[in-house]
A = this chain, B = another copy of it.
């Protein structure tokens, strides 16, 4: 790495676009929920596509690693500059460039967060429905193909990407896709970039499809005596074809933590949270079907809520769950697992994972997007033997998910943590992926050490 990196960057970036202070290097040394910290040599804050291109041209010529970051809400170590070099902070590329309500699309820079998109488009009756629950940046959401609570109805981030502007590792600016809602032209480079975790180039602009805000919505809280009964209900409602907009599991321990944190009095039972979107009569009918099914399957209650205020309070609880859990476990480290399995296999996968935790004496909370077969255990632990136990549980969950036809990561991405499972998950397809990486990033500068093993 050139020792004059800082000076070189100063030749084409303003003084306030480059930082190497201890505070800023530390801030860019790690992500959320991933312990390893490695400082970059320098943090660059580009404000334009051209500046990103200049940085990448320089970096590829000099073999300098580049690690893109914006909000830094990654859970799997994506933003750790493992090999030093440049931390490319895109937070200042935060403009909404165009909004076309009549085409149901918006064009944004990568540092824009999805709540910002929704604040901007809501008044036109449109929204970006992907809702991962952190104030994630659009660039980061595309890079990990984030999804979250609404994916069961609306799909994942990639489903909303019509077009991208991407700076390739050599510093060339390309555009993928178009503003048309569908196309069979060329190879789908947009989709290749979605979920590439900053290893194939830098996303500098995204054209996103929007959905119409539902005319009506309802929410329901459906507690059960056992977690098996709750997950069986979740899979049954999907199998019955009820078009739920959200279908979330929150286990009893999490409900207790929410009650403490938010001063609520939800019954401390494993609970499925549902949301329904549509027109008024359609939503009523969906709620009725869900209520019937819940009763048949042994729910201890079915509390539906139609007014916006109570609906939002209910979902606020789910969104703030992570903070409630952290508050309930002061001083402990935490890890959030992220497997997804075919939905019929979800009840057993959750049950098995919790038993593994019990066997290890670990304190775990089960939650997640059970309508998609994707669930998380949030495990709190302390360094030492507990950390090793967490690793055993996490490993057992991934191997079980793969044996069940599932995936090591439903939505958080591979980052560093899941690298070791790529060979098992992808088999002979892994060398094909590695060949794509080599041809698209021959200098190997883009986020090295992430997404794919070397």
* Interface residue ranges, A against B (CB under 8 Å): 100-105, 125-126, 144-147, 151, 155-156, 158-159, 168, 172-176, 178-189, 191-192, 194-196, 200, 211-215, 235, 238-241, 243, 278-286, 289, 340-345, 372-374, 401, 404-414, 418, 421-422, 425-430, 432-433, 435-440, 451-452
**In the complex where A215-B241, A406-B179, A435-B440 touch, is A185 in contact with B103 (Cβ < 8 A)?**
no
Q: Which residues of chain B have C-beta atoms less than 8 A from A440's C-beta? A: 432, 435-436
The distance in angstroms between the C-alpha atoms of A284 and B281, with both chains bound, is 8
- Contact A175 B340, beta carbon cutoff 8 Å: no
In chain B, what residue has the closest Cβ to A426? B186
Q: Write the nearest CB–CB distance from A396 to chain B, whole angstroms.
A: 17
The distance in angstroms between the C-alpha atoms of A296 and B343, with both chains bound, is 44
Q: Write the nearest CB–CB distance from A131 to chain B, whole angstroms.
A: 14
- Contact A413 B187, beta carbon cutoff 8 Å: no
**In the complex where A239-B102, A433-B189 touch, is A374 in contact with B182 (Cβ < 8 A)?**
yes
The distance in angstroms between the C-alpha atoms of A99 and B148, with both chains bound, is 27
- Contact B285 A405, beta carbon cutoff 8 Å: no
Q: Which residues of chain B have C-beta atoms less than 8 A from A404's C-beta? A: 179
Q: Write the nearest CB–CB distance from A207 to chain B, whole angstroms.
A: 9
The distance in angstroms between the C-alpha atoms of A372 and B433, with both chains bound, is 32
**In the complex where A104-B343, A179-B405, A405-B178 touch, is A410 in contact with B184 (Cβ < 8 A)?**
yes
Q: Which residues of chain B have C-beta atoms less than 8 A from A426's C-beta? A: 175-176, 185-186
Q: Write the nearest CB–CB distance from A320 to chain B, whole angstroms.
A: 23
Q: Which residues of chain B have C-beta atoms less than 8 A from A410's C-beta? A: 180, 182-184
